[in-house]
Structure 1
Amino acid sequence: MSEPQKSTAEGSPAGRIFDLATLRRLYAFIRPYQGRFYLLVLIIMLAAALAPVTPLLIRYTIDNEIAAGDYKGLSLMLASMVGVLVVQAVMQFSNTYLSGWLGQHVIRDIRVQLYHKILHLRLKFFDNTPIGRLVTRTISDVETLADVFSEGMAAIAGDILQLVLIIGVMFYTDWRLAAISLSMVPLMLISTYIFKEKIKASFNEVRTAVANLNAFVQEHITGMNIVQIFGSEKIEAEKFRAINDEHRKANIRSIWYYSIYFPVADILSAAGTGLVVWYGAREILNSEVTFGTVTAFVMFINLFFRPIRMLADRFNTLQMGIVSTDRILKLLDSDDYTQNNGSYVPEKLRGQVEFENVWFAYNDENWVLRDISFRVNEGETVAFVGATGAGKSSIINLLSRFYDINRGHIRIDGRDLHDYELGALRRNIGVVLQDVFLFSDTIENNITLGDPTISRESMIEAAKLVGVHEFIERLPGGYQYNVMERGATLSVGQRQLISFVRAMVQNPRIIVLDEATSSVDTETEELIQRAIEKLMKGRTAIVIAHRLSTIQKADNIIVVDKGHLVEQGTHEELLQREGAYANLYRMQYKEMA
């Protein structure tokens, strides 16, 4: 099993902080909650405006009330400071709650849109995209956006406003102390810029490592039976250790930068405070500055340097949010989905199927089907046979529009396939695949797939027709029995029978069976064959068969070889021709002999 490939999207450098196009798209998700968003911005702005108030009150209290021994005035000022602290606490609570509330509602909406998009992507997209990367988009990348609202745009605006206000108040109070207080700012800005650039790169490495981990774990847990069958546990463990080491190294690099930056920022802040105390003490002795003013400036320095320290982190949070948003938007904007251009919803399909000069390739280069033409009349059964890779399964994938053809036409009841509304088309085509997938859910939900229009009575009737009702009733809980992930608690034959009921309960006009009996024993196959005869009565059936014994009664048998239709006819006609079908028939019975 191969290691996951790094996509260019994952390894791309982080985008610009103020990518206006991406921010506008992100704001579109905020629009339903713009009232609360603007309230959050207002609260952040007011909190920033209140930041210089407490130092100014303390300065006034020291220089006036305390110096004059006015205990009544001192009590009044203390009450004022308590009032300001209470208001700041309320604003802090409102800020934290509103930003969290907004973030969670927005990421909920984005996840819903993202998952809805994934549900409608073409199967070709999943052929080329590791599932782990889609998990990263839906979970990790979307979660990053929550931080954008709690520590991103509005918080950055509040920090910048606080810095501007504090600088203004400091210079208005005493320009000399203000200049000394800000003497460490150039060094702080340089260290902040270096930190921002380093942490930006490390964050992007962490995101890439997380995506690689998700892709690797998802793929290898899904294929665990292959790993154990071929005894590759040690090899796969080494691969995982290498990928996990990259994740560890990326995180340690970000921790290293944090470990350096914040002590440096604290040292610079302390140096600025020391300079103010040294210069202020000298000016107090010379009666040039009051004690209250120096005290206020010590507080101003803390209020000034704290937002600068936070800005670097907030900018990186916003930047990673922009990167995550960009990745999410690329997926949302992907046109690699089945276009539901049609609007025709038939009252009832007759079930006539026609392929006319159909060409198809999965990668637009190597043709899987070449100039295929055939017709299945209403109520007929047509079977496709041929070697593995001949193109049989591609035919039914095209019929259900899991993939779209490159050239030619496919018609049902004389109408082009693209004229049909996609949901209506697929509801009228019942598909039973060789590789059965069951969800970790009850048997009932695996049959109905949560469709409320399917009654319990019709489900039981379909189960009885297949002959599995009694088997299901014997299970603990009956139809409420949980089959676990991929139907692990059922045998291969039982899973196949459940999938057969799932197709029958939809009452489709066209039945497609893709090697539907190849994975079951003879007794189960006989059970299914009896159910198939009942199900096919009055319906069009398309069967891809491995066992030729199961299709001898088909109205038409088509032999496919390397994307071409090489011959067709009834079982007896094809045997008499002594062609490709006759050779396949003899080879199969020779193997059975």
Structure 2
Amino acid sequence: MKQTTGKRLFQYAMLYKKPILLALLLLVLAVSAELAGPFIAKRMIDQNILGIEKKWHEVSAEQPYAVHYKDKWYKREDHFAADERKGAEVRVLQAARQFYWLEVPLKFEGGKRVVTDGTMTVTSKDTGEQAAYPVTRLSSSELYGFYKPEFPSLLTMAALYFGLLLLVAVFTYGQRLMLQTSANKIVRRMRNDIFAHTQRLPVNYYDNLSAGQVVSRITNDTEAIRELYVAVLANFFTGIIYMAAIYGALFLLDARLALIALPLVPILIVWIIVYRKFAARYNRIIRTKLSEINGMLNESIQGMPIIQAFRRQEETSKEFESLNEHYYKYQNKLLSLNSITSHNLVNVVRNLLFLIVIWLFWGDWFGTAVSVGVLYAFVDYMNRMFAPIVGIVNQLSNLETARVSAERVFMLMDEEGIDVVPGTMERYKGDVQFERVSFAYKKDEYVLKNINFHAKQGETVALVGHTGSGKSSILNLLFRFYDINEGRIVVDGTEVRDIPKQLLRQHMGIVLQDPFLFTGTIASNVSLDNPAISREKIEQSLRDVGAYDMFSALPGGIDAPVIEKGSTLSAGQRQLISFARALAYDPAILILDEATASIDTETEAIIQEALDVLKKGRTTFVIAHRLSTIRAADQILVLDRGEIVERGNHEQLMEHRGKYYAMYQLQQGGATQPA
């Protein structure tokens, strides 16, 4: 059963679950430390700052928390012990911006306060009843005296608050370091897995997918997935933990305020659902177009000589502009969606919530239960809650990009690959038989029809025919780049489909018309960095093809650098390296696919001399357009439209005077002498 994208991403994350879980633990600690701040601030406001308006009682003498005023000592009621005797009650009350001394108890708490000519009039909010009290205005120094006992507690609370901030910084640093390191490890593992899978994919997979598109999936798409683990998950985890912790704190603070804030959760969920509905479609198009752009760039760079030689720069630029314009169009659509659903909308929701709460507070809907300190803590918590909400909303774009990228990556990884078989296979002799083989690249469009031949060990078999006659297809089937539709191919009595592909190819060598060289040195391109191939074997292979002296004359010799595709070397030099590479692996079956087509006559003569020695003990298949190069072949198979129409050696076919004779005559400029 095919797993969902989310489950597979989770499985990759679980490979590094320990650091991720540690990062989440640090995140919880950071959130807990940070959310303790508003509670500390609430206590400082209600207890240490606004607590001055609580009841004060006269005490007999100086003692802790006692304040000296008018030759007497007074202490606030919350500083008395449970069994301690309290004296006469007095109050310190604020009216407008001034504080006043009141020596009698208040008839009722709360209400509007107005001071006129030394008399404070208090009006009850509930009944409208009024009460008048004689008061004395406190000077700044006198007021300072009443606040002074709270200073040690204020400093302690402030120190605790800043200590928590330092803890938050340490925990946050550790959390981010752990999470980002884990994300990098996850993506490193994923890229290794994808690249390894590209090595297992059959050759026909790449027939319909450009190199640039594959590169885009391995680089761009995995980078988007990295952002998922680094930024998206960090913000989502932080947001969820913050919101859960803040709602818990709000219910501890005041359940009514918490219920007012509760609708934010369903609003956020609906928000995410609506956003993803539109963003998913835009991101699929964006990622597809980015792959196409990469594919075209790769193709244009590789084909730049042809583009410039045939003056196709303008047309190529227009084609690129068309792709780029399409990409730009959907990027703008996604940008518009992000702008509409971004933090600006979050700010609108937040301000509406604040407006509702302030209006309820102003209208005294909460009564005396909600103090200024509680209101401050609520506003602080809401600001703290909206920060992660903004983080979540701003990461929605990256979430969808990563999800679509992951779909594309896993789609590539779900392509059926060839299982890598460990171990080695004993070198086979190279006796090859094709028995009634038919093959089609596309259904019912056969390129080979009923092919039969027997290549004995040590024989050279040449395949000739016009373009599209099926020569290369025969060798593709022998290498098992593709598997046959009908018939069977047998090597040393064993059908090739019964031999794992890696083991079958272990004793095959191939030289293509357009050899591929890797970035490195001449020596590394011969051995392909195979430790089993010694330096002596590399040198001997180059000598066998007559190229050692040529490359020894280069600066650095056979350790001379080779840049991408060997573009600084001539076609002949690249082909000689390709020959040496095939020979260094000492194959039982050697395949030369028009290997001498791009080599000059002098170099070809050198190779032909080497081949006469190298063919001994191995079966050689040669595809050649130059018929003069295959005159010594043991068998020559002439193909026409996927069928073998003539077979024999050079002399037999010349005597037959059929297609081979006509082709040879044409190449020899009409000469009638076959030899």
After TM superposition, is the score higher than 0.5?
A: yes
Q: Is 1:344–1:420's contact at 8 Å kept on the other side of the alignment?
A: no
Aligned with residue 543 of structure 1, among 622, 625, 640? 622
Query: Cα 1:189–1:406, aligned 2, differ >3 Å: closer, same or farther?
Result: closer
Query: Cα 1:196–1:329, aligned 2, differ >3 Å: closer, same or farther?
Result: closer
| Counterpart for residue 44 of structure 1 | 27
Q: Is 1:122–1:338's contact at 8 Å kept on the other side of the alignment?
A: yes
Query: Cα 1:187–1:329, aligned 2, differ >3 Å: closer, same or farther?
Result: closer
Q: Is 1:181–1:273's contact at 8 Å kept on the other side of the alignment?
A: no
| Counterpart for residue 93 of structure 1 | 173
Q: How does 1:97-246 map to 2 (within 5 A)?
A: 97-153=177-233, 155-178=235-258, 194-246=274-326
Q: Residue 490 in 1 paired to residue 569 in 2?
A: yes
Q: How does 1:183-582 map to 2 (within 5 A)?
A: 194-260=274-340, 261-277=342-358, 279-280=360-361, 283=364, 289-335=370-416, 337-338=417-418, 345-582=424-661
Q: Residue 30 in 1 paired to residue 111 in 2?
A: no
| Counterpart for residue 159 of structure 2 | 79
The offset of 1:573, in angstroms, is 0.7
| Alpha-carbon separation, structure 1, partners of 2:611 and 2:12 | 49
- Give the SS at the match of 1:379: coil
Query: Cα 1:414–1:453, aligned 2, differ >3 Å: closer, same or farther?
Result: same
Q: Is 1:284–1:290's contact at 8 Å kept on the other side of the alignment?
A: no
- Give the SS at the match of 2:586: coil
- Aligned residues: CA RMSD: 2.6
Deviations for 1:385-424, whole angstroms, at most 9, x for unmatched residues?
1111100011111111111111211111111113334333
The offset of 1:51, in angstroms, is 4.4
| Alpha-carbon separation, structure 2, partners of 1:344 and 1:165 | 56
Q: Is 2:42–2:374's contact at 8 Å kept on the other side of the alignment?
A: yes
| Counterpart for residue 120 of structure 2 | none
Q: Is 1:433–1:515's contact at 8 Å kept on the other side of the alignment?
A: yes
Query: Cα 1:592–1:67, aligned 2, differ >3 Å: closer, same or farther?
Result: farther
Amino acid at match of 1:151: A
- Give the SS at the match of 2:668: helix
Query: Cα 1:192–1:398, aligned 2, differ >3 Å: closer, same or farther?
Result: closer
- Name the % identity: 35
- Give the SS at the match of 1:590: coil
Deviations for 1:201-232, whole angstroms, at most 9, x for unmatched residues?
43333322211211111122222222122211
Deviations for 1:132-169, whole angstroms, at most 9, x for unmatched residues?
22112111111122122223446424422322332333
Query: How many pairs align?
Result: 573
Amino acid at match of 2:411: K
Moved over 6 A (4+): 182-190
- Give the SS at the match of 1:542: strand
| Alpha-carbon separation, structure 1, partners of 2:621 and 2:265 | 76
Which range moved further: 164-173 or 218-227? 164-173
**Any gaps of 5 or more consecutive residues in structure 2?**
52-146
The offset of 1:180, in angstroms, is 5.3
The offset of 1:475, in angstroms, is 1.6
Query: Cα 1:71–1:368, aligned 2, differ >3 Å: closer, same or farther?
Result: same
Amino acid at match of 2:379: V
The offset of 1:84, in angstroms, is 1.8
Deviations for 1:331-380, whole angstroms, at most 9, x for unmatched residues?
21211x34668x89543321111111111111233111111111111111
| Alpha-carbon separation, structure 2, partners of 1:106 and 1:192 | 26
The offset of 1:265, in angstroms, is 2.0
| Alpha-carbon separation, structure 1, partners of 2:158 and 2:453 | 92
Deviations for 1:480-537, whole angstroms, at most 9, x for unmatched residues?
2223221111111111111111111111121111111111111111111111112112
Amino acid at match of 2:354: T
TM-score between both structures, scaled by the size of structure 2: 0.79
| Counterpart for residue 12 of structure 1 | none
Ranked by relative contact order (alpha carbons within 8 Å, sequence separation 6 or more), the top structure is: 1
- Give the SS at the match of 1:383: strand
The offset of 1:538, in angstroms, is 2.2
The offset of 1:443, in angstroms, is 1.3
Q: Is 2:33–2:165's contact at 8 Å kept on the other side of the alignment?
A: no
Which range moved further: 124-133 or 182-191? 182-191
Larger Rg over CA atoms: 2
Amino acid at match of 1:349: Y
Amino acid at match of 1:245: E
Query: Cα 1:53–1:205, aligned 2, differ >3 Å: closer, same or farther?
Result: farther
Amino acid at match of 1:79: A
Which range moved further: 394-403 or 326-335? 326-335
Which range moved further: 375-384 or 238-247? 238-247
Query: Cα 1:268–1:24, aligned 2, differ >3 Å: closer, same or farther?
Result: closer
Q: Is 2:238–2:388's contact at 8 Å kept on the other side of the alignment?
A: no
Query: Cα 1:345–1:287, aligned 2, differ >3 Å: closer, same or farther?
Result: closer
Amino acid at match of 1:544: I
| Alpha-carbon separation, structure 1, partners of 2:570 and 2:501 | 33
Query: Cα 1:445–1:591, aligned 2, differ >3 Å: closer, same or farther?
Result: farther
| Counterpart for residue 588 of structure 1 | 667
Q: Is 2:469–2:639's contact at 8 Å kept on the other side of the alignment?
A: yes
- Give the SS at the match of 1:362: strand
Query: Cα 1:32–1:167, aligned 2, differ >3 Å: closer, same or farther?
Result: closer
Amino acid at match of 1:217: L
Which range moved further: 421-430 or 114-123? 421-430
Query: Cα 1:124–1:184, aligned 2, differ >3 Å: closer, same or farther?
Result: closer
Query: Cα 1:394–1:185, aligned 2, differ >3 Å: closer, same or farther?
Result: closer
The offset of 1:464, in angstroms, is 1.2
Query: Cα 1:344–1:444, aligned 2, differ >3 Å: closer, same or farther?
Result: closer
| Counterpart for residue 9 of structure 1 | none
Q: Is 1:277–1:298's contact at 8 Å kept on the other side of the alignment?
A: no
| Counterpart for residue 11 of structure 1 | none
More strand by share: 2
Q: Is 1:556–1:568's contact at 8 Å kept on the other side of the alignment?
A: yes
The offset of 1:42, in angstroms, is 2.5
Deviations for 1:288-338, whole angstroms, at most 9, x for unmatched residues?
532211211111111222222222344443343333222222221211x34
Amino acid at match of 2:464: V
Deviations for 1:25-71, whole angstroms, at most 9, x for unmatched residues?
22332333221222223233343444432111111111112335311
- Give the SS at the match of 1:268: helix
- Give the SS at the match of 1:148: helix
